[in-house]
Amino acid sequence: MVRRSLPLAMSMNNDVAAATVMVTIAGAVAAAHRRRRWRPRGMAVSDVARTIAGGFLMGLGAAVIPGGNDGLVLAALPALSVDGAVA
């Protein structure tokens, strides 16, 4: 089920990916509740803003970096690529 939800399998139905995420979150909540560590608490606006800003920056970084670790280490850095060195 997890293999089908990966973005590499674009021909698969997106319902499987949504079900995988929902079941994973439900399992984490159930496990925390069972161990008596589930304590819902309020969120401050500043915490929400920092979380959204951090997620945005991480997504931007993932979109800008040319390739993954193997592409950077094995191709971009040995080729003395400026954008590979910055990434």
For 40, list phi and psi in degrees, rounded to 5.
-65, 140
- Domain range for 34: 2-86
Neighbours of 76 (CB within 10 A): 19
Number of domains making up the chain: 1
Q: What is the pLDDT of residues 17-36, one digit of tens each?
A: 778 888 999 999 899 888 88
pLDDT band at 13 (very low <50, low <70, confident <90, very high): low
What is the C-alpha to C-alpha distance for residues 79 and 28, in angstroms, rounded to an integer?
44
Half-sphere exposure of 87 (CA within 13 A, CB side): 22
pTM of the model: 0.44
At 56, which amino acid appears?
Answer: F
